[in-house]
Chains A and B, each alone.
Chain A
């Protein structure tokens, strides 16, 4: 299974940008890079995904390295509500052909007021 590596925790000040890195050196050519976040006692929430090009949406931006072995989730202005565990996931294709999500340890983001 393709694996991802993320820092265990990061801190940011409110209203400032946050760059959350993810390494995925064993990514295959057809793996999508997905980012989710999980608030306490809730299920994960979709943030953004991409394949090769950088992506933007209302929540965040995703910067993907040219060799696709790493990516960075960018929150342009962190708010207290962005405090969560952020997971970088490669869409893994199981032996049955079903695409599965394999979660790594994630990054716990703390936002300081």
Chain B
């Protein structure tokens, strides 16, 4: 079983809609959770960090964490074409290791 799993997509949403990206992880004791955005040909850019259960909002982005279900998600409200990218989920686990999912490709259709 992979440490971090994401639906590879592609996920397509119309402009202005809410995009929902999901991630599950295997290490129940994992401490920290991150979302990175990666444009084609570019490097990953950190956009959200979350450490405790519940929601964390930053502008149009909301990260949600449910440690009991070992589930973390990213919601993008009012999606824009510029949000079209691959989104990587990353988890810092109890072994002090950083694991990345393989990413979900998001396309926002104008």
A and B associate in one complex? no
**Which B residues lie at the A interface, using CB under 8 A?**
none
**Which A residues lie at the B interface, using CB under 8 A?**
none
